[in-house]
């Protein structure tokens, strides 16, 4: 799966379709946890509608981190990553 690293992002976002794709290829089931987080797209005053969140390991050849991903029902055309994930991606 291709990803866009957004250096201005403060959270990790996946659209519902991308989460479904990850689940279909996962070794074990991924459970979404309810969240009350308020997340805004850049320049927006409306919060994104969130389906839930989950934690997963993210790794590159050199590093591994545990990261929280929020699954959104609306909006973004791309996935965005936090500073923690940018570090493992080498950007």
pLDDT digits (tens, 9 = 90+) for 30-88: 999 999 999 887 788 888 889 999 998 877 778 888 889 999 885 554 544 444 455 55
**CA-to-CA distance for 73 and 17, rounded, in angstroms?**
9
| pLDDT band for position 7 (cuts 50, 70, 90) | low
**CA-to-CA distance for 65 and 84, rounded, in angstroms?**
8
Per-residue DSSP letter, 62: S
Q: What is the pLDDT of residue 32?
A: 95
Q: What is the pLDDT of residue 9?
A: 76
Cite the DSSP H helix spans in the chain. 16-25, 83-89
| pLDDT band for position 22 (cuts 50, 70, 90) | confident
- The average pLDDT across 21-26 equals 88
């Amino acid at each position: 799966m291709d990803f866009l690293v957004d250096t201005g992002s403060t959270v990790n976002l996946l659209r519902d379709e991308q989460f479904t794709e990850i689940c279909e290829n996962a070794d074990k089931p991924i459970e979404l946890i309810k969240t009350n987080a308020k997340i805004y797209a850049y320049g927006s005053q409306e919060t994104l509608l969130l389906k839930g969140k989950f934690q997963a390991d993210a790794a590159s050849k050199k590093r591994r981190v545990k990261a929280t991903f929020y699954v959104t029902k609306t909006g973004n055309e791309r996935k965005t990553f936090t500073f923690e994930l940018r570090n493992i991606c080498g950007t």
